[in-house]
Structure 1
Amino acid sequence: MKRYRIFSFDFDSRAQSLESVPEEWNEKAKELHLANREKTIKGLAYQYGEQQLEVKIKNFQDLKFKPFSISAFHNKFLQQVRNSYVVGGYYPALTGACALGERILNHLIILLRQYHKDSPEYKKVYRKQSFDFWPLAIDTLESWGELLPEAAEKFRALSEKRNRAIHFNPETDHNDQILALEAIHLIQEIVSIQFSAFGTQPWYFCIPGEMYIKKEWENKPLIKHIFIPNSLLVGPKHKVESIIPNIVVNDQFEYSNDEISDEEYCALREK
């Protein structure tokens, strides 16, 4: 009867508070937005330092929000890439974003290949402990059904950025900031598509404000290894007692052993 609900995720939406105030907003909404903006600027000054603060604020805003993502092998490094860009380390941010893309592909191949030994692609990847030829990794994961098609397309676009960044190109001396921002946006889009904690991914069903893993997806390799560790198995009567500093869930309720559909779970949860 129970389902896995996503509880562990990472995001940073502060960039939205730096946007201009729309004229059509009422005065109370404008005041609240300006207060949030001031709070964000103070936080950025504390986090990144006062020197060249206006540049850092602009860079942070240009990055856009860090996507809602389950906690996996990319979160820490994505934050490091973003930090590099904010303080003006554009080339490290560029190469870091590309390296992170390659790292994600390697993690997925090595973690999931044991489940695809009967596939024609397996013989191409079963021996290697690392992969630097992106087309093979992307095509393999996509053919296994472990990589969403939209994410695969973003990886292919990032692969082009990676080739230009890693191999010597004199133009990079002059457009490192633009290239870095493009690469970061691509890796963030990949994370948002493939590792989102909230969205329309085929393995999710949604109850307003809550994301659950569909029963039919629970034993899929990607879900079992990456998404379920970020979830708690809960019944439809569960209550979230606390979020900060720790997640506390009360699910001390009696449930039958009957198996129910995801739709029936939703109906029971919404009662």
Structure 2
Amino acid sequence: MTGNDPTPASEVITRTTIYDMPRDATFEQVRTSISDAGRRRLLSWGMDFDSRAMTLGAKIEEHWEPQVKEMWAANQENIRQSLIAQFGEQAIDQKVENFLCIGAKPMSVMAYHNRFFEQVRRSFVMLDYYPALVGACALGERILNHLILDMRDFFKGTPEYKQVYRKDSFDKWEVPIDTLEAWGILPPEAAVEFRALKALRHRSIHFNVGTYSTLREDALAAVVHMRTIIEQQFGSFAVRPWFISGTKGHVFIKKEWETHPFILTYFVPSCPFVGPLFGMAPDQNGAWSIFDKADYGDGDWTDEEFTREYNERDPEQVFTGPVQEPE
């Protein structure tokens, strides 16, 4: 007995919430331990992106209101000045042109590859076309190798496993591309981009005198192929088989994909497990903190039900700080 509660202590039901889990708990431990796991979804979260090219390359339309045109012109000038500070003033017009050509850096959940892709982009902007070309090709090969090495133990029972289980690296791209396609890891669009990058890699890495005359063109193609691969494979905000469709403002992982090897390996480490009333705010260091309701109750929501709860949530009920729930 506890206090005036007539319920025997042995019959008191203890509910485990997301806040009861240790910070180092694995997603599997969280998913199988908390009482409301069926009403939560993984929030796709990736903040490594650069959209300045979209703003800088936008056309200021004549029919816009004067204050709108002034705002856009000021934003574009600020971006140009940021590029001068980042890349230097010498040959700045060509650097700006290169920056616009390679487009925005996509939102991505990737970790160790992000800084390499940034180096590839920077090389192209700085007119260092051969390092950009070779770097993009090498990064494509590195990503293929990581995907195979990270995924293969999950697919030991497949016919493809016997082709990849012995090797520690792969320089013949067709084997990992075909294998990852068969395992359902590569979306069709990413496989197309990998094969196009493979052709550039073979033509550029192996001696080919023609590379001199097409260097910038090949480097640009390689960077764009690599950018598209990242968008297709690791994008955190897009239409993909593993994302719930129709949610407003944020993207969530489908319930059936939560335990998929690809999602477990690449998305789960950076994706908070949230309910529809979660909120977020930046801290003093610029990092984002997630705030959420402790317990959403029993039962499993379908992805459609979760979408409805999230899209129709009352803004007044959204958790935007570490506050106590109303009694």
Q: Is 136-145 or 69-78 further displaced after alignment?
A: 69-78
Equivalent pair of 2:280/2:291 in contact (CA under 8 Å) = yes
Runs (4 or more) in structure 1 with deviation over 6 Å come to: none
CA deviations on 1:135-160 (whole Å, 9 max, x unpaired) are 01100000011111111011111100
Compare CA radii of gyration and give the structure with the larger one: 2
CA offsets, 1:187-236, max 9 Å, x none?
A: 11111111111111011014211010000000100001101112100112
Q: Which moved more, 1:83-92 or 1:255-264?
A: 255-264
CA contact (8 A) 1:237 1:253 kept: no
Question: Structure 1, unaligned stretches of length 5 or more?
Answer: none
Listed as ranges, the gaps of 5+ residues in structure 2 are 1-38, 314-327
Query: Which amino acid is 2:249 matched to?
Result: G
Per-residue CA distance 1:67-116 (angstroms, 9 max, x = gap): 12123332111100000001110000000000110000000000000011
Matched length: 271
Which residue number corresponds to residue 264 of structure 2?
Answer: 224
1:249 aligns with 2:290: yes
Question: Which has the higher mean CA deviation after the structures are superposed, 50-59 or 248-257?
Answer: 248-257
Q: Distance in 2 between matches of 1:255 and 1:17?
A: 40
Q: Deviations over 1:23-75 (max 9, x none)?
A: 34332222121111101011011111111111111111111111121233321
**Structural RMSD (CA):** 1.4
Q: For 1:259, give the aligned amino acid.
A: D
Are positions 1:7 and 2:45 aligned together? Answer: yes
Give the corresponding residue for 2:251. 211
Aligned partners of 1:154 and 1:190 also within 8 Å: yes
Match of residue 193 from structure 2: 154
Please state if 1:102 is matched with 2:141.
yes
**TM-score under structure 1 length normalisation:** 0.96
Letter in 2 for 1:26: E
Q: 1:112, 1:221 within 8 Å by CA — same for their partners in 2?
A: yes
Task: Compare relative contact order (CA 8 Å, sep 6+) and give the higher one, 1 or 2.
Answer: 1
Greater percentage in strand: 1
Percent identity (aligned): 44
TM-score by length of 2: 0.80
